[in-house]
Structure 1
Amino acid sequence: MLEPEENPSPRLIVDPPGWLRNRCLVLLATMPLCLAACAGDAPEPAAGPSTETATTEAPTTQTPTTQAPDDIEPDPSPDVVDSPAILTAYLGALDLPAILIDRLADISGCEQQPLDEGMPVVLSHRVDGATLEPSDFAVTTVGGAAMTPTCATLEPATEDDELQTVLLTGPLGSSDDSPAEVAVVGELLAIDGTVLTGIATDTINTFETGPRLVLARLDPAGEQCASLGSSNEIQMTWEGGVTGPRGAEPGPAELAGLTLIDVGGRSHALLGFDDLGDGDNYLVACAPPDIEPATLEARQDTVYDPTNNPNPPTSVGVEGRPSNEITDG
């Protein structure tokens, strides 16, 4: 097959008869028209029915692409824009002695053993308690040991506007190999259906530094705060359960340790407490009227965790409650 292409000259030097040459010229002259007709092109540039047909049928070929709404993910609703996360983990008890086991059992509602640990974990979303199991959480120690809690509970913070704190108890480490990371590994769901599987934190604060503020949410005043002249109240979320010293109910001394800063930078005293008596990690304080809160500050030694460790100086921005956390009545 290479020889004809390398030496095609014998075919070119043949001198055909005149009649054959004329027929060939006619064929060559009409060939572009034949090729155009085979390709479906119009022989003239003027618009005609065939041109209109080609124009109107073009969108038809694109229909499968433009009409597939089922394949397009909807924009996330404002309620679930924020990604789920573990906001904080607080090691409130380590190698708990037998004398304090009953205290931990009273808080958790679970049977506890000597040398157990207690770790409240605050999540970004309210947890669906029906999906909560101890095996949903994995704790990894500094030495790399994997620990599974024997108890995971929303107790004692079980009111409808709480439910963000899961208390983990059991053998979660030791004084020689303390917890270093906590992760959600099971099929844990939030109340709004958000999947919480996979969230984790490698920052674990401890009783040695005391509990810090995590969240401060602005809510309409309840009956108690309204009776004090307040139109709004501040719900504080702490890393662990907080009270006055040695388990005493928070009172005027603890209230004086809290300061509300408005958007103009001015300081305001809070008017009183509400929602006391449960020993959980939520405190509600009544805001003074006619201010726009920006920051809540707590000075050192304002509140104490269940093993009587005081808080360090701590502050947090005041936020409106997300719409997916507003409860009915």
Structure 2
Amino acid sequence: MPIVLDRRIPVPALLDPSVFVVHRASGAESPVDCATLAPADEAEERRTILLVGEFASDGDSPVGVEIVGTLLTDEGVDAKGALVETVVPLAAGPSIVLAEHYLMSELPTGSTDKCPADTDHIIKTTWEGGVSGPGGTDLDESHRLGTTVEYASGEVRVATLLADAFDNDNHVEFCMSAPGEPAAITAGSGLYEDPNGDLNVLHTQVVINASR
């Protein structure tokens, strides 16, 4: 079960699973057997923690995750006490939970730049979990054309290229060639599939400026 934090977690990618507790609808608590940043452990990622364990049974689904031990962020802030209260039902399709705008000159140190040389800025999307095309296929031209970016000017564009899209994690980068201030990104219905085989519905996520 992946959880997405609002701050990045430093390596090591393997984390102490006892730091996390999963709360169930019945009030019961489930321990976590394994916690890792992998595969979303590149420099500009490291927000998504994958939790492994027995978190649900018939009629008793998970409703939240609590950080009960020390978990330091890149800034040295201890996330202990934080509660993730949104648990996406298994049958729900994937959606974007975070969209960040980076100028090429502002990419975090150590990040992997996979966009063309003429890229002005990148919109890095974080999904609730790993995404692919329908049937587990690679993301392709239909995803580039079916995912639109609206700018503060009112202009709507599509990316020149999708990057960081084939490494089985929950991040997809949209390489944008012309300058502008992106405001929102919209993923067309039925384009993206999660590991459970569920397709996304049409949805829009606000784009934030990662440098602010």
TM normalised by structure 2 equals 0.89
CA shift, 1:223, in A, is: 5.7
CA shift, 1:224, in A, is: 4.4
CA distance in 2, matches of 1:223, 1:202: 33
Q: Is the 8 A contact 1:256 1:269 kept in 2?
A: yes
Q: Is the 8 A contact 1:133 1:152 kept in 2?
A: yes
CA shift, 1:187, in A, is: 0.8
> Which residue number in structure 2 is paired with residue 133 of structure 1?
16
CA distance in 1, matches of 2:165, 2:84: 30
Cα-to-partner distance string for 1:69-124 (whole Å, 9 max, x where unaligned): xxxxxxxxxxxxxxxxxxxxxxxxxxxxxxxxxxxxxxxxxxxxxxxxxx100001
> Which residue number in structure 2 is paired with residue 158 of structure 1?
41
Q: Structure 1 counterpart of 2:4, which letter?
A: V
Aligned mate of 1:270, from 159, 166, 169? 159
Are 1:215 and 2:87 matched, yes or no?
no
Aligned mate of 1:313, from 195, 202, 208? 202
State the Cα RMSD in Å. Answer: 1.8
Q: Which fold has the larger relative contact order, with Cα–Cα distance below 8 Å and residues 6 or more apart in sequence?
A: 2
Matches within 5 A, 1:81-100: none
Tell me the number of residue pairs that the alignment of Structure 1 and Structure 2 aligns: 204
Q: Structure 2 counterpart of 1:239, which letter?
A: E
> Which residue number in structure 2 is paired with residue 226 of structure 1?
116
Shift of the 292–166 alpha-carbon distance from structure 1 to 2, 3 Å rule, reads: same
Matches within 5 A, 1:26-105: none
CA distance in 2, matches of 1:192, 1:202: 23
CA shift, 1:302, in A, is: 1.8
Q: Is the 8 A contact 1:209 1:312 kept in 2?
A: no
Cα-to-partner distance string for 1:121-178 (whole Å, 9 max, x where unaligned): 0001111344831111111111111101111110110101100000011101123211
CA shift, 1:267, in A, is: 1.3
Shift of the 224–136 alpha-carbon distance from structure 1 to 2, 3 Å rule, reads: closer
Are 1:261 and 2:143 matched, yes or no?
no
Stretches of structure 2 that go unaligned for 5 or more consecutive residues are 105-111
Q: Is the 8 A contact 1:184 1:200 kept in 2?
A: yes
TM normalised by structure 1 equals 0.59
Stretches of structure 1 that go unaligned for 5 or more consecutive residues are 1-118, 324-329
**1:128 aligned counterpart, secondary structure:** coil
CA distance in 2, matches of 1:210, 1:164: 20
CA shift, 1:203, in A, is: 2.1
Q: Which runs of 4+ in 1 moved over 4 A?
A: none
CA distance in 1, matches of 2:114, 2:20: 37
> Which residue number in structure 1 is paired with residue 173 of structure 2?
284
> Which residue number in structure 2 is paired with residue 302 of structure 1?
191
CA distance in 1, matches of 2:48, 2:211: 17
**2:21 aligned counterpart, secondary structure:** strand
**2:115 aligned counterpart, secondary structure:** helix
Shift of the 223–155 alpha-carbon distance from structure 1 to 2, 3 Å rule, reads: closer
CA shift, 1:242, in A, is: 0.7
CA distance in 2, matches of 1:167, 1:242: 14
CA distance in 1, matches of 2:119, 2:96: 22
**2:143 aligned counterpart, secondary structure:** helix
Aligned mate of 2:125, from 195, 213, 236? 236
CA shift, 1:299, in A, is: 1.6
Which has the larger share of strand?
Answer: 2
Which has the larger share of helix?
Answer: 1
Q: Give % identity.
A: 33
Cα-to-partner distance string for 1:245-299 (whole Å, 9 max, x where unaligned): 2222111011122000010222111111112321100001111403221111112
Q: Is the 8 A contact 1:258 1:298 kept in 2?
A: yes
